[in-house]
Homo-oligomer: A and B are copies of this chain.
């Protein structure tokens, strides 16, 4: 519970490998889309895409697709923020695994409150803080080189916490224990994540392929609810977004920024071995 002051942010070879991946990552699917309006996301989208973008003639087609994908990603982040409950400008929020900062910026814009983002990638911290400075919100929106399993923030200091596709890098029981510490009674946690489906059984080939690609460890759906239950986090809304995210992946597969991981995602979503889920839960 108590940790010595010298505990490093990166404690395992695994964490170092993950950090290195994201420090080096310059993936157009993240950078090109972010350039659309300066919101840099590291997550996927939801909602139907406008099929006309595929008909865009000539060189503009690639950009049209990218803008549409970006729109779907922003819609996903908006949907996540919709579930944070009533947040006032005097509250404080935590973005667990904040990437290049897109969702944090959107949260501040919507609620006017302080937002702290943590990530184990120093490159992402720098990038995101730079974005905050450019937007003139660095007094309210801050990014930290910090492990969300051991964030160092005061107990009960965060009115709301979210993780946007970052829980596959950590142990859920450890993570939710830390979040339960950070949230006051009545605080809200919102999670969007891909999870394997216990109904179809063990991890399918497609899910293992995704794990290998991102050096991540996708959890079964059941683990989320066991870990929440063990940490006094009580669901109030659970939404299966699987069918809502498939169009995004179909569009991405046709885009210029496809990375090759589109096929395993589509296979896994379609064969039922993988779900895209939103969970909103209250700390009690």
Residues on A facing B (Cβ under 8 Å): 1-4, 7, 11-15, 17-18, 154-157, 169-170, 181, 184-186, 198-205, 208-209, 211-212, 215-217, 221-222, 225-226, 228-230, 232, 234-240, 271-273, 275, 282, 284
Asked if residues B216 and A202 are in contact (CB atoms below 8 Å), the reply is: yes
Taking CB atoms, residues of chain B closer than 8 Å to A181 are 1-2
Taking CB atoms, residues of chain B closer than 8 Å to A169 are 202
Contacts A13-B271, A212-B209, A225-B228 given; does A199 touch B157 at CB 8 Å: no
Taking CB atoms, residues of chain B closer than 8 Å to A273 are 13-14
Find A154's partner among B4, B15, B17, B229 (CB 8 Å cutoff): B4
Find A226's partner among B13, B154, B199, B229 (CB 8 Å cutoff): B229
19 A-B contacts (beta carbon < 8 Å): A2-B155, A4-B154, A11-B184, A12-B186, A12-B201, A13-B204, A14-B200, A14-B201, A14-B204, A15-B201, A17-B204, A170-B202, A199-B282, A222-B232, A229-B229, A229-B230, A235-B235, A235-B238, A237-B238
